[in-house]
Amino acid sequence: GEDVEQSLFLSVREGDSSVINCTYTDSSSTYLYWYKQEPGAGLQLLTYIFSNMDMKQDQRLTVLLNKKDKHLSLRIADTQTGDSAIYFCAERDPGGGADGLTFGKGTHLIIQP
């Protein structure tokens, strides 16, 4: 099966920038997504990027896409305590016509005061 890889933990100090990295395998993915999950909650769509873009910025969030290396990153500027959550990178399931998403294992962002 296809894999989406992420590191499991990232610890940053409040006010610093957080960079969460992801590698994906399906080069035909048209969209790549970032979701945020707070404890006990569902998934919140944070942002997504078209595969023909290199970068997308939305307020404190910047997404960078390197198609050649199949590498996606999410940068959160001025990280706040409310950013503490698990961040999932996702691509559309490449399994022939399926609409489902394949998620990475998630990166747990820990904010130090």
Partner 1 sequence: DTEVTQTPKHLVMGMTNKKSLKCEQHMGHRAMYWYKQKAKKPPELMFVYSYEKLSINESVPSRFSPECPNSSLLNLHLHALQPEDSALYLCASSLGGEVPQHFGDGTRLSIL
- Catalog residues that contact partner 1 under the rule CB under 8 A: 29-31, 33, 35, 40-45, 48, 88, 92-93, 97-106
- How far apart (Å, rounded) are the C-alpha atoms in residues 46 and 30? 17
Query: What minimum distance in Å lies between the beta carbon of 92 and partner 1?
Result: 5
- How far apart (Å, rounded) are the C-alpha atoms in residues 85 and 41? 10
β-bridge mates for residue 64, sequence order: 55, 73
Identify which of residues 43 and 64 has a Cβ nearer to partner 1 in the complex: 43
Identify which of residues 39 and 113 has a Cβ nearer to partner 1 in the complex: 39
Identify which of residues 3 and 54 has a Cβ nearer to partner 1 in the complex: 3
Cβ atoms within 10 Å, residue 62: 17
Query: What minimum distance in Å lies between the beta carbon of 16 and partner 1?
Result: 25
Identify which of residues 14 and 50 has a Cβ nearer to partner 1 in the complex: 50
Query: What minimum distance in Å lies between the beta carbon of 100 and partner 1?
Result: 3
